[in-house]
Amino acid sequence: MVSDSSRTRRPVLTLDDLAAPITRRPERLHALTAAELAIALSQALDLAEGKQIGHAQRVCYIATSLADALEVTPEQRAGAYFGALLHDVGVTRSASDICRIAGVDEATIFGPMPLRAEEQRTPFAFADQHAVADAVHQHCTLGAETVLTLELPGEAAAAVRSHHERWDGSGFPQGDAGEDIPLEARVVAAADLAEVVISAEPSSLAARRRLPEALMEHAGTALDPKVARALLQLARSDGFWLGLYSEDLAETLNAMRGPCDTRKSKKRVMRFAEVFADITDAKGGHSIGHSRRTADGVQKLAAALELDPDHTEMIRIAALLHNLGLLGVPARIMSKPDILSVTEMQIMRQHPASGEMILQSLPGFEEIAVWIARHHERPDGKGYPEMLTGDEIPLESRILAVADVYAALVSDRAHRGALSVKDARQILIGAAGTQLDAELAHLFVSLI
């Protein structure tokens, strides 16, 4: 056991003291548009909902193309654009609790929407069906609140709030009908339904044959007839289908964003990172605030290592988003108090790679994505996913690992209560050199 006095005497480390000092500085954090951020991070929402990756991007392409065909106002177009990308941003906050209690995956509840009828969305005899229905309804309201937190247009929040309203008034959360439903929401609703129909077909040709029938089936009930007819006309165009099946749909969407989103901002990048950190933490139940605490720990280590402010800012972003890939892990697995099965462990261990996949396309996030991909590697080679050792692991990933472990130790977990700072320090010392970088673990202990 290391005494407090010996820890106090330990000198503060610099980069030169570490086994693998940085040979180059990473890029500075790039200023990005809201569209660039929403396009990339929408993939995390696809994971959370149990949809195919790219679902939200395809809904956005359809909705924006449809908005242009309808010649809506620029504000309504922006609402349809961002509303489509973020239409299910409320899923995690609304459904994680009921998924943990009922023992079902989010995909079971949200995967088949919006085609499945209301009475078919709560088939769980062992669950409180009213609670499941409430979770489904709340994801619209909570999603709209999140869109406003991201400082996106009010029309985008309206699209998210009302995209499950139906033309005939039998939708939710308000039961609005007809033109009482915002036009941008009616556009997103049609695009969402169309994407689900298209994705269910084995080929683009089969999808092109099936879509008109589906649109006419729902026109006048779920969908605004005028919107359905406009989408039907749009779907007769070869250009529409070529764009939908583009090899780089993200680039296509970035070109479609329009004049309402031209401002690049670092502040916006941080806002999105913080909001998506909170969304991710909501998935675990006992992990509320974990990513922000990890970011605070990273900041302490970066200051002690005398990293420059730009480098520190990049690592803080990585800390906020280090668990983004967990949105693809069912809440029932994340909150399981017992030992995970082999299959459950394999699912859990996919999250660093999922986080890397989501973030690597963002300009300036290439290195952040790598740091996140490797934050569960260990100096002794027993980590994952690549079983890297020692200085094969980026310094930033090693910093993340120490702050991540400490934040977890001093927080409640499904299988235990929060540990005291004293006990957490002892565990960090015990993990030094095996699970955690030895020098960074001792440095962190000296700081807390």
Structure confidence by residue, pLDDT tens digits, 78-109: 999 999 999 999 988 887 767 666 666 776 76
Whether this model's pTM surpasses 0.85: yes
- Percent of the chain with pLDDT strictly greater than 70: 85
pLDDT exceeds 80 at position 246 = yes
Tell whether 307 and 360 lie within a shared domain: yes
Q: Which domain holds residue 154?
A: 35-256
Residue 70 clears pLDDT 80, i.e. is over it: yes
Q: What percent of the chain has pLDDT over 90?
A: 71
Last residue of some domain: 191, 223, 256? Answer: 256
Give the model's confidence band at 414: pLDDT under 50 very low, under 70 low, under 90 confident, else very high. Answer: low
Write down the mean pLDDT value for the chain.
Answer: 88
pLDDT of residue 9: 41
Torsion of CA 123, 125, 130, 133, to 10 degrees: -20
- pLDDT category at 25 given cuts 50, 70, 90 is low
- Give the per-residue pLDDT at 355: 97
Q: What is the CATH number of the domain that holds 424?
A: 1.10.3210.10
Q: Is the pLDDT of residue 11 over 50?
A: no
User: Same domain, yes or no, for 349 and 250?
Assistant: no
Q: Which position has the higher pLDDT, 418 or 196?
A: 196
Same domain, 314 and 197: no
**Is the same domain home to 62 and 190?**
yes
Residue 10 has pLDDT above 50, yes or no: no
Please check the confidence at residue 209 and state whether its pLDDT lies above 90.
Answer: yes
Give me the phi and psi of 219, to 5 degrees please.
Answer: -65, 130
DSSP 37-99: HHHHHHHHHHHHHTPPTTHHHHHHHHHHHHHHHHT--HHHHHHHHHHHHTTTTTHHHHHHHHH
Looking at the structure, do residues 242 and 287 belong to the same domain, yes or no?
A: no
Asked whether residue 316 carries a pLDDT value surpassing 70, the answer given is yes
> Which token pair is 209?
């044959």
Q: In terms of domains, do 341 and 395 share one?
A: yes
Residues 137 and 55 placed together within one structural domain of the fold: yes
Residue in the structure block whose two tokens are 């177009």: 77
pLDDT at 73 over 90: yes
Task: Tell which of 256, 290, 309 closes a domain.
Answer: 256
Confidence (pLDDT) at 427:
95
53 and 121 part of one domain: yes
Pair (78, 194) in one structural domain? yes
**What is the structure's pLDDT at 120?**
45
| pLDDT score recorded for residue 381 | 96
- Amino acid 379: pLDDT: 97
Tell me: pLDDT of 392 over 80.
Answer: yes
Region 7-24 average pLDDT: 48
**pLDDT for position 448:** 86
Summarised one tens digit per residue, pLDDT across range 144-173 is: 999 999 999 999 999 999 999 999 999 999
- List, in sequence order, every residue forming a beta bridge with 416; answer none if it has no partner: 413
Q: What was the pLDDT predicted at 3?
A: 39
CA distance 210 to 208: 6
Give yes or no: residues 144 and 222 share one domain. yes
Per-residue pLDDT, 263: 86
Domain count, the chain: 2
209/341 same-domain check: no
Look at residue 137 in the predicted model and tell me its pLDDT.
83
Neighbours of 345 (CB within 10 A): 13
- 158 and 77 belong to one structural domain: yes
